[in-house]
Structure formats: structure tokens, C-alpha cells
Structure 1
Amino acid sequence: MRLGYLTHVTGDDPARAYRETVELAVRAEELGYDSFWVAQHHDGHLGGRLPSPLVLLAAVAERTRLIRLGTAVVALPLEDPRRLAEDATVLDALSGGRLELGIGAGADATASQRFGRRYDDRHTDTVATLDVLLELLPTALAEQRTWWATASAVDAAAARGLGLLSGMPPSADARVVPDLARYWTYARGVPRVALSRPLPAGHSIGRIIDDLLADPALPWAGEVVVQAQPSTAPADVHREVLERTAHYVRPFLGVAGPAHPAPALQPAEPDDDLPPLLRPRPVLRGPR
């Protein structure tokens, strides 16, 4: 099970938010995270300050060596597929083949209007743009490192050999686990599933671990991508979540630690309900 971190790059000062995001990615690599993902938001939608994720990830690539760099996600209906393919190819080359290109239909009706697109057509437009994009991307990126964040086109993702980014908790939609099972059955090539899971503020480490291990979608995934909640949390909260997840949550997910472990954190407060790390716990594995 791999471990990733997602940020929506928020804050009142975009320049500061970008610098803090680069530093967060550097720290994630030091802590042994496998991937670092950034969300795209146009015009400050939902507080996000990053309309151009590939540009910021190029800056991250220059400060890191191993961690994979993901977009979660680029709103594909608002993109020109050739320009996106060119920019993605340049970033992939700069980073030594570390780009994980996550795409989706987008959920910002105002952005669709400003880009001269029909919001109601976004799913159809995503499929049409995606098929052009896949023809233009380098083969390895298109076939092994492109992901589709979708709750409605699982079969289409499977048929194209794309990875699946799932952010829908099974408790909210009974279709999630059956959809993942169907994706595994029909995926062209090796199935790839990454679960995006928020870590709500105020939840103890013990509760977070229990919730993750009880997640019925977890056995179908090869990666868990965590994010601080609320998504507009300041940089110090992101850093705390990053550290606590690496030190206390990762061992229960069976994620390999970093080659050079970071200095230990201070012990959790007694009321944090932190389970003893030596307590036996099952390590869930996918259905492979």
C-alpha cells in the first residue's frame, strides 16, 4: 500500500501558498511519502489558488528526487488536449518520469462559463478530450501514470487502462465497492486504484486508523492519498497532518517507511487516543 498527500493550495496570498506547497512536498519526500498531489482550482473556487498545477509541480520537481508528482485533478473539459500533453510531457521529462496525471470533469460551473464551455456537457467533453490527450502523451505516461477521477465512468476508465482516483466514501454511495470490483474485473492492463481520504480536524489518531482500516474500499486500492480537512487549513495544519500520518497511521496501512526516518515526533497527548504501536493489527491487502 502506497501513501500520498493532497493539498488544495489555499491561502490569501497565492505566492506564499505556492512556496509553502513546495516546502510541504519536500517534507513529504523526507517522510517517505510515495506521492504528492495538488488540486486545480480556477478563480479561487473553494479557496483554491492553483489554476496551473503543472507549473507548480515543475518547481517541486526541482526540489525533490523520488516522490511522484500528481494532479488531483486537472479539469479536462477546460483544457486544450495538445497544450496539456505538451506541458505534461515537459514536466515528466524534467522530473525524471515522476508525473502522475490525474484528470476529471471538474465541478465548477462558473469556470465552465468563463472558459466558454457548457457545464452540463462536461462529462461528454471529458471523454472526447481524453481520447485525444491519450494519443498525444508519451506511451508510459498515458498507459501507466494517467488517472481518471470519476464516479460515473468506471467502465470507460477500465477500457482505456487508466488508473482510478476515488474520493467517494463507501458510506455515502453504496455503488463504490461494486464499481471498484467491476473496474478490477475489466481493467485493461494492471488495475490502479488510489483512494482519496480526508482526515477531519478533531479526529484522534485512533479513530483515523480505525476508520481507514474499516473502509471497505481499501482492499481494492494500491494507494491511499490523505488530505487535511478542512481543505482551506493553513500550512502548519498541513505539516502536522503530514507528520502524524507518516509516523502513526502509516504502520497500520502496511506502507513501507522512508529510507532515512525523520526525527521522532513528541508522544501524543493522553487524550489523543493513540493506539499502542505494538498492538497487533491486520494489514489489509488488495484482492490481487
Structure 2
Amino acid sequence: MRLGYLTHVAGSAPAQAYRDTVTLAVAAEELGYSSFWVAQHHDGHLDGLLPSPLVLLAAVAQATSTIRLGTAVVVAALEDPRRLAEDAAVLDVLSGGRLELGVGAGADATASETFGRDHSLRHDECATAVDALRAHLAEIVPAAPGLGGRLWQATGTPDGVAAAGARGMGILTGRADAAPHLARYWARAAGEPRVAAVRVLGPGERPGALLERWRTDPAREWSTELLVQTQPAHAPVETHLATLRALVAPPRDPDRPAPVAPLVAALRSGPRRAPVPSGRAAT
């Protein structure tokens, strides 16, 4: 199982928060983490200071060479799909094919209002934007080979997981109760299943406690990657660095094959879904 780190890029000053984020990414790469993810926030929502994650990840790409770079997540309904596809493609080329593009419907109602969108329609608008994004990735310049297969959907609901699976997208989820839906995702997803479970290290909590919880986490057997985030998000960079260092000390989960018995049971519950062509919504 892979281990990644997620930061909400919070702090008292944007310039320092951005520099600290680059520092964290470099440290994560040196420590052997598989991926490094940043969250998008508009207008300081949840103390986050990063409205343009692809721009910051371009700086991270220049300071690193191997670690995969992820967005967790870009709010797809608030973006122009072609513009997002072009910016993502440039970053992917610049980084040598390391971008993991995570998108979601977004939870910030104020941001929806600011962008002139109806927050209640965000899930449908996200699905429309994702289909347009996938179609654009197949035709834009610069070409970003493989990026269409490195798209992720932030969701934990039955419908969201099923739709992402039908599109061949990976799943980003912070919900332990998503495990039953992830079982069906493994059985029916188009392409290779990818599940990144996001788990929080609480304020003052020792990293070992997170690993202990993870061993009995219902989503663990369906996950291909564990993404850790430290709270509070605005903690000093030294706190984030301490988390990074502590979590690589214990033995990690070995790479495991697909969980066969549960997978067989899930397969018996229904047929495997065929891929949804770019530009068409799942039904």
C-alpha cells in the first residue's frame, strides 16, 4: 500500500504557506512517500490559502523529481473544463507525468455563490464538468498521455462511487462508512481500481495512534493508498514535518493483491460496468 501526505496549505501568510508546502513536498519525497496532495480553498475557507493548486504544484514539480503530485481536490463545477484540462496538461508535462488530478463537487456554499453557481446543483454540475474535462484531455495541446487515467473523484456516497467507477476514475474518500460502496467499486470499476483513503492525525495526537486506527479501518482492505493530513492545518511546518518522519518509521502495509473473497461476493451482486466514453455521463 502506498503512503501519501495531504496538506490544506493553511497559515497566517500565503507566501510562507506556499514555501512551507514546497518544503513539505521535498521532505516527503526524500522520506519515500509515494504522493503529495494539496487542497483547493477559495477566500480562506477552512483557513486554506490555496485557490490555485496547479500553480503551486508547478513550483513543487521543479523542486522534486519522483513523488506523484495530487489535487485533493479541485472543485470541478467552479472551473472551465477546457481551461482546467490545459493547465493540468501543462503541469503534467512539466512534472514528467506525475500529476494525479483529483476533482470534487465542493462543500463550500459561499464559493458556489461567489462563482455564481447554485450550490444545490453542484453534484450534477460536477459530473458534467468531469465528462467535459475527460473529453478535452483527449484532444488538447500539450498532450498529456496517461493523465486521463490519473483522474480521481472525491466521494463516499453510493452514487458517487458508482459514477466514478464507471468513468474509470480513482476514489478519494475520508469516510470510513464508504467501505461497502468501495467493495462494489472494486467489482465493477472500469480500468484498474484506485482508492485513496484520507485519514486525519488530530491535534496533539501521536502518529502511531493513526496507524493503530488504520489497521482496523473498514476501508483499509479496499484502499490502494493512505493519505495522511495533520490537524490543525495551520500548524507550524515543523509539526507537519514531524508527522512525515514519524509515519515512515513503523513498517508499512505490504503491497496486497485485491481482497479475493470480498471481491467475489461483490461480483456476485451485479455485473461489471463498462467504461463511460469521454463526453457522456454515467446513467
Instruction: Write out aligned runs for 1:149-160 (5 A).
Output: 149-152=154-157, 153-160=160-167
Identical pairs, percent: 58
1:232 alignment partner, SS class:
coil
Q: For the Cα contact (< 8 Å) 2:208–2:247, is it kept in 1? A: no
1:36 alignment partner, SS class:
strand
> 2:52 matched to 1:45?
no
Partner residue, 2:147: 141
Q: For the Cα contact (< 8 Å) 1:200–1:228, is it kept in 2? A: yes
In structure 2, relative to structure 1, the CA distance for the partners of 1:19 and 1:204 (3 Å cut) is: closer
Q: For the Cα contact (< 8 Å) 2:201–2:207, is it kept in 1? A: no
2:107 alignment partner, SS class:
coil
Aligned-residue offset at 1:234:
2.1
Partner residue, 2:80: 80
Aligned-residue offset at 1:286:
4.3
Aligned-residue offset at 1:103:
0.2
In structure 2, relative to structure 1, the CA distance for the partners of 1:215 and 1:150 (3 Å cut) is: same
Partner residue, 2:33: 33
Of the three residues 146, 169, 178, the one matched with 1:162 is 169
- List runs of 5+ in structure 2 lacking aligned partners: 138-143, 261-283
Q: For the Cα contact (< 8 Å) 2:165–2:189, is it kept in 1? A: yes
* Counterpart code for 2:152: W
CA distance in 2, matches of 1:76, 1:212: 30
* Counterpart code for 2:173: S
Q: For the Cα contact (< 8 Å) 1:40–1:50, is it kept in 2? A: yes
CA distance in 2, matches of 1:215, 1:183: 17
Q: For the Cα contact (< 8 Å) 1:158–1:186, is it kept in 2? A: yes
CA distance in 1, matches of 2:93, 2:55: 13
CA distance in 2, matches of 1:195, 1:232: 22
CA distance in 1, matches of 2:252, 2:135: 40
In structure 2, relative to structure 1, the CA distance for the partners of 1:95 and 1:205 (3 Å cut) is: closer
Instruction: Write out aligned runs for 1:76-115 (5 A).
Output: 76-115=76-115
Q: For the Cα contact (< 8 Å) 1:72–1:103, is it kept in 2? A: yes
1:15 alignment partner, SS class:
helix
CA distance in 2, matches of 1:252, 1:34: 12
Q: For the Cα contact (< 8 Å) 1:37–1:71, is it kept in 2? A: yes
* Counterpart code for 1:215: D
Aligned-residue offset at 1:117:
0.6
Partner residue, 1:19: 19
CA offsets per residue over residues 52-72 of structure 1, 9 Å max, x none? 000000000001000000000
In structure 2, relative to structure 1, the CA distance for the partners of 1:135 and 1:18 (3 Å cut) is: same
In structure 2, relative to structure 1, the CA distance for the partners of 1:94 and 1:252 (3 Å cut) is: closer
In structure 2, relative to structure 1, the CA distance for the partners of 1:131 and 1:215 (3 Å cut) is: same
Partner residue, 1:60: 60
CA offsets per residue over residues 172-204 of structure 1, 9 Å max, x none? xxxx11100011111001111110111113333
CA distance in 1, matches of 2:185, 2:133: 21
CA distance in 1, matches of 2:46, 2:76: 18
Aligned length: 252
Q: After the TM superposition, which segments of 4 or more aligned residues of structure 1 sit over 2 Å from their partners?
A: 201-209, 252-255
Aligned-residue offset at 1:209:
2.2
Q: TM-score, normalised by structure 2?
A: 0.86
In structure 2, relative to structure 1, the CA distance for the partners of 1:203 and 1:12 (3 Å cut) is: closer
Aligned-residue offset at 1:205:
4.1
Partner residue, 2:187: 185
Aligned-residue offset at 1:231:
2.2
> 2:261 matched to 1:236?
no
In structure 2, relative to structure 1, the CA distance for the partners of 1:105 and 1:14 (3 Å cut) is: same
Partner residue, 1:127: 127
Q: For the Cα contact (< 8 Å) 1:222–1:286, is it kept in 2? A: no
CA offsets per residue over residues 32-89 of structure 1, 9 Å max, x none? 0000000000010000000000000000000100000000000011000000000000
Q: For the Cα contact (< 8 Å) 1:219–1:285, is it kept in 2? A: no
**Which stretch shows the higher mean deviation, 50-59 or 239-248?**
239-248
Aligned-residue CA RMSD (Å): 1.4
* Counterpart code for 1:160: R
* Counterpart code for 1:140: G
Aligned-residue offset at 1:102:
0.2
